[in-house]
Amino acid sequence: MAESAELILDGKSISLPVIEGTEHEKAFDIGKLRDQTGYVTLDSGYKNTGATKSAITFLDGEEGILRYRGYPIEQLAEKSNFLEVAYLLIYGALPTQAEFDNFKYQITQHTLIHEDIRKILDGFPSSAHPMGILSSLVCSLTAFYPKSIAPEISKEELDLNIVRLMAKISTIAAWSYKNSVGHPLIYPRNDLDYCANFLYMMFSFPTEKYEINPVVVSALNKLLILHADHEQNCSTSTVRLVGSANASLYGSVSAGINALWGPLHGGANQEVIEMLEAIEADGGDTSKWIAKAKDKNDSFRLMGFGHRVYKNFDPRATIIKKAADEVLQALGLKDSPLLKIAQELEQAALTDQYFIERKLYPNVDFYSGIIYKALGIPTEMFTVMFALGRLPGWIAQWKEMRENKEPIGRPRQIYTGELERDYVPMSERA
Ligand code: CMC
C-alpha cells in the first residue's frame, strides 16, 4: 500500500499521508493541506469526504454489506434483539448475560418521565407532528438533568444519561402519538420488554386489557435493529457535529432527530406510504408514476428508491422485505391494495433502464413503511420509529467522538459572494 500520495501544485510536490482502515478503505489525510498550500478541498454534500475514523459500523455500498461492530446485519436481525444490539453498538461488544440483565434493568428503571414533561407536552397542539414533539422533549431532558450539559462528564454520569435516554425516548415517542389523537397517556409497564412496552404505551387504553401480539413484537425488534446505525449519515453526522462543540448528549440527539425528520432522510418512510396512497387514490396506474419519476421536468421522485451509498442493493431492504411478507401473512393482510401497488412499482422500477442505469434500488424505507402500516403504526409516527431505532447508533457515535477527543467540527467554504463594497444609506438606494 502507498504510504503517501504526491500532489503537484504550482510545480511543488506536496505529500499527503494515506490512511487505511481495517477493511482496507483508504483516504488521503488532507489535515495539513491548507497550512502547506493555502488550498482547501471542496466536496459538496460530503460525497467523498471522510469526517472521522470510526470503529462502530462498516458499510460497503457496492457490495451491499452492513456490519455493526463486525457482526453482519443479517445475523443480528435473525438472532439478536434490539436492546442487545443497542448494547453492542454503544459498548463495542456483545454483552454477557449479567451485562445484558443489568443494562435491561437500568433501562426499565428509567422509563418514567418527569411529570413536568407532561405539562410541556400538554402545551403542544394536537396537530403537532410527533417528530417535533420528540426532538423538543428530548432536548428538554437537559433541563431536568442539568449535570448532562457539563462539558466533561464522568463515565457513571454518561452511562446514566445513556440509559435515561434509551428508556425515556420510547415513553416520549408513544406519548407524542397519544397527544396527537387526544387519547389518555399510558404509563410504561416495567414487566414488559422494550418493544412490547412501547407497543403497550402506543396502543392500549386504560379501559381495556391489551393483548401483546408476539408477531408484532418480533417485527418491531427486527425493524429497530435494522435502523440502529448507518455510520456517517446526515443525522449521525449532525449528532457528532453538535456534540463536537461539547454539547450534551440530549441536545445532540435532539439535533439528530431534526435531521432525520427531513424527507430525503428518515422522513422517506412516511413519504413512501403517502405516495402509495396517492397512487391508489389516482386509480393505481403505477406506470404513470414511474414515468413521472423519470421526467426531468417533474420534481416527483419514487420515494423509497435510491441511496447515497448503496449502489447495488440495500441489505436492510432484503431482510425487511422478507419480514414484510411474514408479517403481512401472519396478520392476514396479504391482499392489501397498497402492498399490490408497492410490488408493482418495485417490479417496474427494477426492470426499467432509467432505474437500472442509475442503480436505484428499493431502500430500507420502501418496506419499513409497509410493515409499520401493517402493524397499525400511524403514518406520522413512521419517522419517530426510525428515531427509536437509530438512537443507539447516535449514542454510540457521540460517545466515540467524545472518547476519541475529536476537535470541534468546523468545515471551510469557498466564498462566492460580493467583493468588498461600501454601505449605502437607504435614501440613496435605487
Ligand atoms: N426517483 C427517481 N429518480 C431518482 C431517485 C428516485 N427516488 N433517486 C435518484 N434519482 C435520480 C436523480 O434524479 C439523478 O438522476 P440524473 O443523474 O439523471 O440527474 C440520479 O438518480 C442520482 O440521484 P442523486 O440525487 O444525485 O443521488 P443521491 O445519492 O444524491 O441521493 C437519495 C440519494 C436517497 C437522496 C435519492 O435517491 C432520493 O431522493 N431518493 C428518494 C428519497 C428516499 O427514499 N430517501 C431514503 C433514503 S434511505 C434512508 C436513509 O438512510 O435516510
* Domain range annotation of the chain: 4-50, 80-406
- Rounded Cα–Cα distance for residues 379 and 270 (Å): 6
Quick check: 290 and 348 in contact, CB under 8 A?
yes
Kindly state the average pLDDT of the residues 306-330: 87
DSSP-derived letter for residue 45 is G
User: What is the pLDDT, as a whole number, of residue 312?
Assistant: 81
Nearest 5°: the CA angle 372, 377, 380 is 100
The residues, any chain, with a CB within 8 Å of residue 26's CB and separated by 6 or more, are 1, 18, 19, 20
In order of 117, 169, 329, 331, the CA distances from 396 in angstroms are: 26, 16, 35, 35
pLDDT exceeds 90 at position 168:
yes
Cβ < 6 Å from ligand 1: which residues?
A: 230, 233, 264-266, 268, 293, 301-308, 358, 360, 363-365
Q: Which of 344, 346, 295 is nearest to 318 (CA)?
A: 346
Is-catalytic flag, 365?
yes
Which cell numbers in the block locate residue 13?
Answer: 510536490
Greatest mean pLDDT among 133-137, 178-182, 361-365 lies in 133-137
Ligand 1, from 66, 363, 368, 382: best to mutate by most atoms within 8 Å of Cβ?
363
4-50 and 80-406 in the same fold: no
The answer to whether 223 touches 269, Cβ cutoff 8 Å, is no
Q: Which of 223, 260, 264 to mutate to test the pocket of ligand 1 (most atoms within 8 A of CB)?
A: 264
Reduced to 3 states, what is the DSSP secondary structure of residue 199? Answer: helix
pTM: 0.91
Cα separation, 369 vs 287, in Å, equals: 21
What are the tens digits of pLDDT across the range 201-257? Answer: 999 999 999 999 998 999 999 999 999 999 999 999 999 999 999 999 999 999 999
**Cβ pair 265, 406 in contact under 8 A:** no
pLDDT more than 70, % of the chain: 100
Residue with cell 435494522: 226
Look up residue 35 and give its three cell numbers. Answer: 497550512
Q: Whose CA is closest to 365, among 348, 392, 346?
A: 346
Q: Assess contact for 20 and 50: CB atoms under 8 A.
A: no
> In the predicted model, what is the mean pLDDT of residues 91-119?
97
Could you tell me if residue 40 is left (phi over 0), alpha (psi between -120 and 50 degrees) or otherwise beta? beta
**Res 267: pLDDT:** 81
- Asked if residue 363 lies in contact with residue 339, where contact means CB atoms within 8 angstroms, the answer is no
The mean per-residue pLDDT over the stretch 187-191 comes to 96
Pick the CATH number of 4-50 from 2.20.28, 1.25.40, 2.40.50, 2.60.40: 2.20.28
Q: Is the pLDDT of residue 2 over 70?
A: no
Angle at 138 between CA 191 and CA 222, to 5 degrees: 50
The answer to whether domain 80-406 has CATH 1.10.8.60 is no
H runs (alpha helix) in 145-285: 155-181, 194-203, 214-227, 234-243, 249-261, 268-281
User: Nearest C-alpha to atom 14 of ligand 1 is from which residue?
Assistant: 358
Q: Hey, which residues does 65 pair with through a beta bridge?
A: 60
What span, in angstroms and rounded, lies between the C-alpha atoms of 407 and 401?
A: 9
